[in-house]
Chains A and B, each alone.
Chain A
Amino acid sequence: MIPSKAGDSPRARAPLVADTLRWLLGSVFVAAAVPKILDPEAFSLALIRYDLLPDFAVTSTAVFLPWLELVSASALLFLPSYRVASCSMLAALLAVFCGALGYALARGQTIPCGCFGGHSEADGGPWYELFRDVALLAVAAAVYFWIPDKSRPPVRASPS
Chain B
Amino acid sequence: MTILRQISALCLAAGIFGTVVNMLSPRGMPLSATADTLLAIQAVREGIIPLDVQAMERAVRTRSAVVLDARGPDAFRSGHIPGAESVPSLSRAEVLRVVLERVPPSARLVVYCGSPRCSAALDLARWLSGAGYRGVSLFTGGFETWVLRNDPVEGR
Contact = CB atoms under 8 A, between A and B. Distances in A.
A and B: real partners?
A: yes
A44 B32 contact: no
A149 interface: no
Contacts of B9: 82, 85
B41 interface: yes
A66 to B, nearest CB: 8
Contacts of A56: 32, 34
The residue in B2, B14, B41, B117 that gathers the most chain A C-beta atoms within 10 A of its C-beta is B14
B148 interface: no
Given A67-B14, A67-B18, A68-B11, A58 B35 contact: yes
A42 interface: yes
Main secondary structure of the interface of A (DSSP, over half): helix
Interface in B1-48: 2-3, 6-7, 9-11, 13-15, 17-19, 21-22, 27-35, 38-39, 41-42, 45
Given A40-B29, A41-B38, A67-B14, 10 more contacts: A41-B29, A42-B42, A45-B119, A49-B117, A59-B30, A67-B18, A67-B21, A68-B10, A71-B13, A84-B3
Contacts of A86: 6, 10
Contacts of B118: 49
A45 B10 contact: no
Kindly state the interface size class of chain A when it binds its partner.
Answer: 35 or more
14 contacts: A39-B27, A41-B29, A49-B118, A51-B117, A55-B34, A55-B35, A58-B33, A59-B30, A63-B18, A64-B15, A67-B15, A67-B18, A70-B17, A85-B3
Interface residues of B, number: 34
B7 A88 contact: yes
A125 interface: no
Contacts of B19: 63
Contacts, number: 98
A60 B29 CA distance: 9
B116 interface: yes
A149 B14 CA distance: 27
Contacts of B33: 44, 55, 58-59
Contacts of A75: 10
Contacts of B31: 59-60, 63
Enumerate the 7 nearest inter-chain pairs by beta-carbon distance, A residue then B residue, closest first.
A85-B6, A153-B2, A67-B14, A68-B14, A67-B18, A64-B18, A60-B31
